[in-house]
């Protein structure tokens, strides 16, 4: 909808200048306590329900993050909204005094979207911090080819599938639809994969490091690909800015390696000299500022803020004293507060009720099948070619197949650009959830005889699973 029509709908003024003035006046009338009330109510429900579903997920051999994703879907319009529409509207679309309902929805959504992105930034910092990248000296080539296979094969399958599905969705631009479908199938959910691996305590294993490194390269390439695809969809494709984006990303990564690593080493030595080895409040404040500064840098580059935080964590990952001190300070609060907001509130915006025919459900099955074959099988074959045995290769392919909410970022962009229909949006959401749900059961099935088995058993994950919540 054009700017003028949105403003007119919200304010009743057709003139843009008058409409903007009226919007400002409306927002000024909202007292902070009036806006805080629905935010607090939603936070209470989101945090408690997310923790409940995380605990239930562990009972069925799923990491807590999967439960939080399911919690979002259950709280959303597909379940809670369908069963209790009045309660759903009261809780998640409450309105604000003196403000049009549509504007109130946008204001509250912006609050939670900002909190979600902050949680994702800090999660990626911890994910990068947890990994031992020294394995790449011996397996860097394998990680590169696994990543390459994880992008190319799903992308090609997505293009082929789009050729078949598009005639049934003729209202969508064919080129944009095809490219966005292919890109959505090519994404690996780096944050969720990282958090799942942290729960299983396999982050510093050889297979874990290879997988997360391939996933990081996969995602960085995916975002650059997404920028190119979005440019094409807007009919404004220019290769120059895309090449510049890639060069700036490499430059920033090198800057962190050569400047950030000595600083991290110095900081770790200071911590080691102390009797308690704890980070002070002032040091924590500086650390948080640096994390946000790195996120700001990659945001300005154009490859999303989360990658700056991840790169910073990776640079600091060699310093065990620093890593442990940061984990003690940050992990619990981020896990209990920020992450449920991100995983659960994103699920709240998903409505699977638009798949209202068997044909659409059949297309949904094909989308899931193409995603699994492209990512799991493609990465497995690349890992086998890189020197891993079949069981280890299957573990790598299974982990790379995790997509979850990072795929939702892609398809939300596609929907905003008008190249993804509501029904296709739902198919891709289901694909993201299915490929995430299948990761842990397949990994537990395939881990026997690999290095992962001892770490997963030592993590306590198997002993906690199956217990009553």
* Residue pLDDT tens, the chain, 469 long: 445 555 555 555 555 666 566 666 666 666 677 778 888 999 999 899 988 988 888 788 777 777 887 888 888 887 888 889 899 989 888 877 777 777 777 778 888 888 888 888 888 888 788 766 655 555 567 788 888 898 899 999 999 999 888 888 767 788 888 888 888 888 877 767 877 887 788 877 888 888 888 887 777 777 677 767 776 666 555 667 767 777 888 899 899 889 888 998 898 888 888 777 788 888 889 999 999 999 999 888 877 787 888 889 888 888 888 888 888 888 888 878 887 887 766 667 777 777 778 888 999 999 999 999 999 999 999 999 888 899 999 999 999 998 876 676 677 677 777 778 878 888 888 888 888 888 888 988 888 888 888 888 887 777 655 454 4
CA distance 332 to 327: 8
Displacement of CA 21 from its chain's centroid (Å): 36
* Structure tokens, 258: 């050569």
Give the Cα-Cα-Cα angle 152, 153, 159 (nearest 5 degrees): 90
User: 174-200: b or e for each residue (b if 16 or more CB lie within 10 Å)?
Assistant: eebbbbbbbbbbbbbbbbbbbbbbbbb
Whole-angstrom distance, CA of residue 18 vs CA of residue 10: 12
Query: Exposed, middle or buried, 98 (CB in 10 Å: 0-12/13-18/19+)?
Result: middle
The confidence score (pLDDT) of residue 21 equals 67
CA-nearest of 366, 390, 385, 386 to 446 is: 390
How would you class 376 by CB atoms within 10 Å of its CB: exposed for 0-12, middle for 13-18, buried for 19 or more? buried
Give the C-alpha separation, 196 to 185, whole Å: 20
User: Rounded to whole angstroms, how far apart are CA atoms 114 and 123?
Assistant: 14
Q: Which pLDDT score is estimated for 395?
A: 92
- Res 469: pLDDT: 40
pLDDT at 58: 77
202 phi and psi, to 5 degrees?
A: -115, 20
What is the per-residue pLDDT for 95? 77
* Helix/strand/coil for 236: coil
Strand segments, DSSP code E, in 218-346 are none
Distance between CA 282 and CA 271 in Å, rounded? 14
Domain 115-457, CATH: 1.20.1530.20
Mutual angle of helices 422-437 and 358-372, in 10-degree steps: 50
**What is the distance between the alpha carbons of residues 403 and 409, in angstroms, rounded to a whole number?**
11
| CA-derived radius of gyration, the chain | 23
Q: What is the DSSP string of 122-189?
A: HHHHHHHHT--GGGHHHHHHHHHHHHHHHHHHHHHHHHHHHHHHGGG-TTS-HHHHHHHHHHHHH---
d(C-alpha 120, C-alpha 214), whole Å: 19
C-alpha closest to that of 368 among 423, 439, 436, 427: 427
Of 20, 35, 28, residue with least CA distance to 111: 35
As to burial, measured by CB atoms within 10 angstroms (0-12 exposed, 13-18 middle, 19+ buried), residue 1 is: exposed
How many residues does this entry show for the chain? Answer: 469
pLDDT on residue 175: 81
Considering the chain, tell me which residue range(s) the CATH 1.20.1530.20 domain(s) occupy.
115-457
pLDDT of residue 1: 44
Residue with tokens 């979207």: 113
The tokens for 404 are 């979850």
């Amino acid at each position: 909808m054009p700017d003028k029509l949105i403003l007119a709908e919200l304010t009743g003024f057709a003139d843009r200048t008058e409409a903007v003035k009226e919007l400002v006046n409306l927002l000024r009338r909202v007292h902070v306590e009036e806006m805080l009330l629905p935010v607090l109510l939603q936070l209470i429900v989101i945090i408690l329900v997310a923790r409940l579903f995380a605990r239930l997920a562990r009972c069925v051999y799923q990491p807590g993050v999967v439960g939080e994703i399911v919690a979002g879907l259950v709280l959303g319009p597909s379940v809670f909204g369908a069963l209790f529409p009045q309660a759903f509207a009261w809780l998640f679309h409450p309105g604000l005094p003196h403000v049009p309902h549509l504007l109130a929805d946008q204001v509250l959504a912006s609050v939670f979207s900002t909190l979600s992105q902050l949680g994702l930034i800090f999660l990626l910092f911890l994910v990068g911090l947890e990994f031992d990248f020294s394995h790449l000296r011996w397996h860097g080539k394998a990680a590169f080819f696994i990543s390459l296979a994880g992008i190319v094969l799903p992308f090609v399958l997505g293009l082929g599938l789009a050729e078949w599905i598009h005639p049934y969705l003729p209202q969508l631009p064919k080129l944009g639809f095809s490219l966005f479908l292919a890109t959505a199938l090519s994404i690996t959910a780096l944050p969720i994969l990282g958090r799942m691996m942290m729960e299983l305590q396999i982050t510093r294993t050889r297979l874990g490091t290879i997988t997360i490194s391939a996933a990081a390269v996969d995602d960085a390439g995916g975002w650059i690909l997404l920028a190119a695809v979005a440019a094409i969809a807007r009919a404004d494709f220019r290769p120059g800015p895309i090449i510049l984006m890639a060069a700036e990303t490499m430059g920033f990564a090198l800057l962190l390696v050569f400047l950030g690593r000595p600083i991290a080493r110095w900081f770790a030595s200071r911590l080691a000299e102390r009797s308690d080895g704890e980070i002070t409040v002032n040091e924590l404040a500086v650390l948080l500022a640096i994390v946000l500064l790195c996120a700001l840098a990659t945001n300005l580059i154009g490859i999303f803020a989360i990658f700056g935080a991840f790169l910073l964590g990776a640079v600091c990952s060699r310093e065990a004293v620093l890593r442990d001190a940061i984990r003690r300070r940050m992990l619990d609060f981020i896990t209990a507060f920020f992450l449920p907001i991100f995983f659960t509130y994103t699920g709240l915006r998903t409505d699977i009720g638009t798949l209202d025919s068997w044909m659409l459900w059949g297309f949904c099955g094909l989308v899931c099948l193409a995603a699994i074959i492209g990512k799991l099988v493609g990465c497995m074959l690349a890992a086998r070619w890189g020197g891993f045995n079949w069981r280890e290769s299957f573990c790598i392919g299974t982990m790379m197949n995790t997509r979850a909410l990072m795929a939702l970022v892609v398809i939300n962009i596609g929907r905003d650009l008008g190249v993804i229909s509501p029904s296709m949006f739902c198919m891709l959401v289901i694909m993201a959830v299915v490929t995430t749900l299948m990761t842990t059961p397949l990994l537990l099935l395939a881990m026997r005889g690999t290095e992962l088995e001892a770490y997963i058993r030592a993590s306590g994950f198997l002993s906690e699973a199956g217990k009553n919540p």
